[in-house]
Structure 1
């Protein structure tokens, strides 16, 4: 298991870039497509319908990305980014993602997903929920806490002063290294914030959610999380759940 202390991660360039698949052709999905295309990756992207429905949008917002079905994206990609509404996670082709690295960039929005207690339970991070749905995949949380405008406007080369940072969370060291490389290539400093259980501090309600911080800012926000209102709520809910489990 990786050290759960927030630690800035730096990764060397890979000799052969993996193919990146993005499930979700909304604002976050198209912004990530542009960033990764600019970094030299091949990008496949799927929307909620047929490729023909999004091809014109992709030609304008992410020229160079290839519009495909969700199944084709899952099958033909080395790394898959989930950028669709969280409430639709059961539509993800889990069988085609077996053994693959999956980046969870999704968030719970009640306006989109409806009132869902299962998606807003402080005892469980939403990435833990996704990992349970994709038991044969390696899930890492990333790209979810920064607004799409900041993602679009914030990338900078490695070593740039005050370069912005993306928090990542997971339990697989090799997967975390691969995601760190991807985040760095897309123009941001990757910062480890813990395991998937800890990724709740990247979700809505946390100081980090919607923030546009440097690596040290991300680390400081992670350190403050346990004492915040949301952190105390999460700790109380989890302590109660553990007490019930023990009786």
Structure 2
């Protein structure tokens, strides 16, 4: 059972997961590339269940660990500290941010397979990569709620996917197992299940950055249940790897 969630990366997705975890009664250990002191404000906001640490310390402390850093930095994940752990990988490939990664461009591997290769002694599960940070919080619902949404997961270890599904349940989501890490491309940028199903309509053109952000935070999410996630991931057709970077990740 997960009691402590370690977070390597405390940007938009990491911060949202930390808030959900604290709300669910979990302890969280946060880290980023800038050092524990840079997280003082977020830790203060989260309260006594949160503390800041180095990435290696967060890895060691977590019963489950979330890696939520820019994909281009995945080799900086502390492999030794993560040995034996289940690691939830939220990372997506954005070539304009991460640089070109030949294996991804050639579609001979998925980004999560590269992460698993680096974390050879850990169990990687793709999760939380297909929803924006705002709706990740606003769509969370208690187990059994009629308007509960689902999120896809993928991984090579059945046990690790079970741990991930239990965490999703605690944080407010049903989990849909879509297969192995080789199948995780079905949740990546530009696929049918990526972000748009949880956000109603299309962004209006001609808005200022301030207006666009206000629309983003004021727009309610759309429930995406289990069957809808299964349908969207099942209908995906593999196109060019990567997507357009939407904003800062760490």
Q: Is TM more than 0.5 here?
A: yes
Q: How does 1:211-226 map to 2 (within 5 A)?
A: 211-212=197-198, 213-225=224-236
Whole-Å separation in 2 of the counterparts to 1:25 and 1:120: 27
Give the C-alpha shift of residue 66 in structure 1. Answer: 0.9
2:135 is aligned with 1:150:
yes
Give structure 2 stretches of 5+ with no counterpart: 199-223, 242-250
* Preserved contact between residue 112 and residue 181 of structure 2 (Cα < 8 Å): yes
2:121 is aligned with 1:110:
no
Whole-Å separation in 1 of the counterparts to 2:167 and 2:133: 17
Give the C-alpha shift of residue 118 in structure 1. Answer: 4.0
* Preserved contact between residue 140 and residue 173 of structure 2 (Cα < 8 Å): yes
RMSD over aligned CA atoms reads: 1.7
2:182 is aligned with 1:171:
no
Match of 2:82 in 1: 97
* Preserved contact between residue 49 and residue 69 of structure 1 (Cα < 8 Å): no
Whole-Å separation in 1 of the counterparts to 2:225 and 2:13: 20
2:29 is aligned with 1:44:
yes
Report which stretch shifted further, 135-144 or 102-111: 102-111
2:123 is aligned with 1:138:
yes
TM-score, length basis structure 2: 0.81
* Preserved contact between residue 127 and residue 151 of structure 2 (Cα < 8 Å): yes
* Preserved contact between residue 108 and residue 120 of structure 1 (Cα < 8 Å): no
Give the C-alpha shift of residue 119 in structure 1. Answer: 4.4
Q: Residue 197 of structure 1: SS of its match in structure 2? A: helix
Give the C-alpha shift of residue 109 in structure 1. Answer: 2.0
Match of 1:88 in 2: 73
Q: Give the number of aligned pairs.
A: 214
Whole-Å separation in 2 of the counterparts to 1:22 and 1:89: 14
